Amino acid sequence: MFIRSLTGTDGEVKFPTLGAHIGTFQSWKLTRQQDNGAHDGPFILTAVFSYVNPLLWDQPFTKSFEVRIGKKRYRLDQMPDAKCELVHKQLIMEGVTLCPLP
């Protein structure tokens, strides 16, 4: 089954090594980065935060991005050197893949 896009409202960003919560998504959408028939290509994440701490966001630690789809949680992994931009409360993140969490 080919999925072109997914949407949701449950997601968060945190520093797993520090246990710090950076932000909570109000809404998010994952869209296939290229519509060239590839069934497993990367996604573009566009998300709006209901809460984000800009001071924590700017810290150089590795961030963990998670979303919930139905009852399952997924970690969002990003390809190296892909765009990740936060403007006010809107996030755009390219080169994203979904990884199921236990």
Q: List, in sequence order, the alpha helices (H) in the chain.
A: 54-57
Which pLDDT belongs to residue 50? 98
Note down the domain range covering 26.
5-100
Q: How far apart are CA 17 and CA 90, in angstroms?
A: 24
Domains held by the chain: number: 1
pTM over 0.95: no
Q: How far apart are CA 3 and CA 16, in angstroms?
A: 29
Q: What is the pLDDT along the chain (102 residues), one digit of tens a residue?
A: 468 899 999 999 999 988 899 999 999 999 998 755 556 789 999 999 999 999 999 999 999 999 999 999 999 999 999 999 999 999 999 999 999 999
Which pLDDT belongs to residue 40? 72
